[in-house]
Chains A and B, each alone.
Chain A
Amino acid sequence: MGRLTLSNLIEAAIFLLIAGIFYAFSFEFNQPIEIYIFGATAWPRVVIGFLLLATLGNLWFHYRYGNATQATLGQSEDKADFSEAGTVRRMIAVLLTPFIFAYLLKPIGIYFSAPFFIAAIIWFFGERRWKVILIMTLFIYCVFIGLFLMILNAPLPQGNVSPFYDFSAWVLKLNAKLQGI
């Protein structure tokens, strides 16, 4: 295994999987273009080929030199530290929260879900004083509503499930009343 670590192998496997999936799906649009002899598949397949080469090169590099670095411009010196289980748990929660928020946007809408999302992010960033969380959540929510609804009139997701949709409709009606529309 040389100096390869498990993370090097996982990294290589993910990139090889990406290359494999994109290559396999390239047969779905493998049809000639009358004005261009290389067709629609040529460019993606060349990119996939080079990605395969770079992934194997990266794997060889780790095999030969371990987790050494090379002199490229602007690389960050600071690296992830997942030595503590608490950090990992908190990071999983931080990564999942926006996804859950995005998933709920369609049924629930942004007007109802936003305060919960804001409070959750403040909490995950280490704030534990509930009064501060409440005040800052309200403040950020008001800034958000003021900017996008009242000033920009931006069309935002309202949800499609009752009573969340009704709540969004009430917010929009309130905004219309305040602006005299």
Chain B
Amino acid sequence: MIENFLAGSAALFGDPFTIGIFVFGVVGGMLFGAIPGVSMLTLAAILLPFTASLEPAQGVMLFAVIYCTGTYGGAITAILFNIPGSAENAPTAFDGYPMTQKGQSGKAVGAAVLCSAIGGIASALVMMAATEPLANWAIRNIGPPEIFALVFFGLVVASSVGARTIWKGWMSVLIGLLIATIGQDPVGGINRYNFGMTDLAAGIAFIPAVLGFFAVSEIFVQAEKKASGKYQAPKVSMTFPSFIELWMHKIAVLRSILVGFFCGILPGIGATLAAFMSYGEAVRWSKNPEEFGKGKLEGVISAETANNAATGAAMIPLLALGLPGGALTAMMVAVFQMHDLQPGPLVFMLSPDLIWIVFAAMFYANLSILIIGVLETKTILNLLKIPFQFLAPLILMLATTGAYIGRGLVLDVMVMFLAGIIGYLLRRSGFSIPAIVLGLILGKIGEQNFAQGMQMVHYDLGTYLSRPICAILIAAGVITLASNIYRAFTSIKTKA
């Protein structure tokens, strides 16, 4: 493992252009995560079409780096503006924002820097040790029925993220699945839902849809806040937490790394589940649980350690099984596909260099959070002062170009803006955008593997479910669904 890691490091730092991409990913992920109104997903969606002109290793590495640093960057908006950069930063806002209101934003951001780096580095080390053995095991034991079962499990988990009710969570997933049926069916190549438009025969392009649902809809949400006078500038302070303060939370950090890593492996919403579970555990183990939600440093530490610990773990299902664990890893599948590669067990045999460059880059990206985070947080905080009315047109122009140049179709720009409007309306009605995007990306994978699995077992459902891993995953999905329903109906919050 150490030899491979050193070889990956040498490849990463041996080429000036690759170093440039790495630095761009580190700074870009932090910046986009930290700018209110946009997130690492916005940057990733904008960059997606341009990765076609990069080497496969450079493209995948860029996204992996953005994933690490963007997850940290999202904490800054959560702490300063109460706007989580992505769903996994939501629990950070529970205590981070009250700390900002108390004039302790520097302390909260400092804790986020340190804990994100610790969680990420620990996770990267375990990822390097565990992914290849898991991929080798997967080659022998994972077939289409198991992949379909994993997709099912992932969709069940995704349905419980981000929506206001469990019904809306499922409607979001199903809309994503329905959009994925547009274009040719994956078995017979029959055209579906092209509505007489030849451009739709190839389906809805993933890039314009993702740009629309994430970047454009976020611009519309911020526009609405500007229009209704709800947009607020943050109070910024630069007092970092002391070493003693952080040492006092060592148990919380260790617990959060464990929770983060195990949740991160689950396809669907690993990092989000990790952050929420870790925050919940911090409350449960605390002697003063009533202090949480009012500006307690441990709340920020628990959430930020866990969500970064989940980033390395989330790469395991992606690289070992070819299954994305969230919106950004779903975009990474698209990067692989652009270069005629398929993430999954075979990639370890066909492109081992690529894998180890990505692993090394993730390790150094987490290390960079610590170094750049401490040195440059003040600069990042000053950049937050750029008025959003000047960022919005720049982001929209980047998105327009990104949507157009993929296939050279104005239709794709229209699709992007339509997805933006639909995404905006759905978000404001309590639907979940990550669930829609996961439905969109997992839909084709799920259908194809279901069909292949049924052909393998000669359409005998008994044989299908007698495969142990498949049965366990389907049962886990059903149990998760049941527990989600139970939890949802025992926690209904009726409005006055």
Q: Which residues of A contact B (CB under 8 A)?
A: 7, 11, 15, 18, 22, 25-26, 29, 31, 33-40, 43-44, 47-48, 50-51, 54-55, 57-58, 61, 65-76, 78-82, 84, 86-87, 90-91, 94-95, 98-99, 101-103, 105-106, 110, 114, 117-118, 121-122, 124-127, 136-137, 140, 143-144, 148, 152, 154-157
Report A-chain residues with C-beta under 8 Å of the C-beta of B394.
Answer: 140, 143-144
> Does B141 sit within 8 A of A, measured CB to CB?
no
Alpha-carbon gap, A95 to B451, bound state (A): 40
A125 adjacent to B492 (CB under 8 Å) = no
B162 adjacent to A54 (CB under 8 Å) = no
Contact status of A73 and B393, CB under 8 A, knowing A47-B177, A55-B171: no
Give 10 A-B contacts (CB < 8 Å), ordered by A residue: A50-B174, A73-B162, A76-B162, A76-B427, A78-B230, A87-B224, A91-B223, A125-B222, A126-B226, A157-B404
Report B-chain residues with C-beta under 8 Å of the C-beta of A73.
Answer: 87, 90, 160-162, 269, 272-273, 276
A43 adjacent to B392 (CB under 8 Å) = no
Contact status of A125 and B226, CB under 8 A, knowing A33-B188, A68-B493, A143-B394: yes
- Given A48-B178, A86-B227, 20 other A-B contacts at CB below 8 A? A25-B195, A33-B185, A47-B443, A51-B175, A54-B171, A57-B170, A68-B165, A73-B90, A73-B162, A73-B276, A74-B84, A74-B162, A74-B272, A75-B162, A95-B421, A105-B413, A106-B410, A122-B393, A140-B394, A140-B397
> Does B168 sit within 8 A of A, measured CB to CB?
yes
Among A54, A90, A95, A154, point to the contact of B401 (Cβ < 8 A).
Answer: A154
> Does B420 sit within 8 A of A, measured CB to CB?
yes
> Does B414 sit within 8 A of A, measured CB to CB?
yes
> Does B191 sit within 8 A of A, measured CB to CB?
yes
Report A-chain residues with C-beta under 8 Å of the C-beta of B454.
Answer: 36, 38
Q: Interface size on B (CB < 8 Å)? A: 89
B169 adjacent to A72 (CB under 8 Å) = yes
Give A148's nearest chain B residue, CB to CB: B401
> Does B240 sit within 8 A of A, measured CB to CB?
no
Chain B residues numbered 410-462 whose CB sits less than 8 Å from any CB in chain A: 410, 413-414, 416-418, 420-421, 424, 427-430, 432, 434, 443, 447, 450-451, 454-455, 459
Alpha-carbon gap, A76 to B434, bound state (A): 12
B178 adjacent to A18 (CB under 8 Å) = yes
Among A72, A80, A81, point to the contact of B488 (Cβ < 8 A).
Answer: A72
Among B164, B177, B228, point to the contact of A69 (Cβ < 8 A).
Answer: B164
Alpha-carbon gap, A124 to B393, bound state (A): 10
A58 adjacent to B171 (CB under 8 Å) = yes
Among B170, B388, B408, point to the contact of A54 (Cβ < 8 A).
Answer: B170
Among A35, A140, A148, point to the contact of B393 (Cβ < 8 A).
Answer: A140
Report B-chain residues with C-beta under 8 Å of the C-beta of A101.
Answer: 400
Alpha-carbon gap, A103 to B400, bound state (A): 12
Report B-chain residues with C-beta under 8 Å of the C-beta of A37.
Answer: 459
When each residue 469-496 of chain B gets 1 if its CB lies under 8 Å from chain A and 0 otherwise, what string results?
A: 0000000000000001001110111110
Main secondary structure of the interface of B (DSSP, over half): helix
CB distance from A39 to the nearest CB of B (A): 8
Alpha-carbon gap, A47 to B408, bound state (A): 31
Alpha-carbon gap, A40 to B191, bound state (A): 9
Among B90, B228, B390, B443, point to the contact of A140 (Cβ < 8 A).
Answer: B390
Counting from the closest, the 10 A-B pairs by CB-CB distance are: A125-B389, A74-B87, A33-B188, A71-B491, A58-B167, A70-B488, A80-B428, A121-B393, A40-B185, A118-B393
Alpha-carbon gap, A82 to B429, bound state (A): 12
> Does B248 sit within 8 A of A, measured CB to CB?
no
CB distance from A107 to the nearest CB of B (A): 10
Alpha-carbon gap, A60 to B214, bound state (A): 29
CB distance from B223 to the nearest CB of A (A): 4
Report A-chain residues with C-beta under 8 Å of the C-beta of B420.
Answer: 98
B168 adjacent to A58 (CB under 8 Å) = yes
Report B-chain residues with C-beta under 8 Å of the C-beta of A67.
Answer: 495
Report B-chain residues with C-beta under 8 Å of the C-beta of A157.
Answer: 404, 410
CB distance from A167 to the nearest CB of B (A): 17
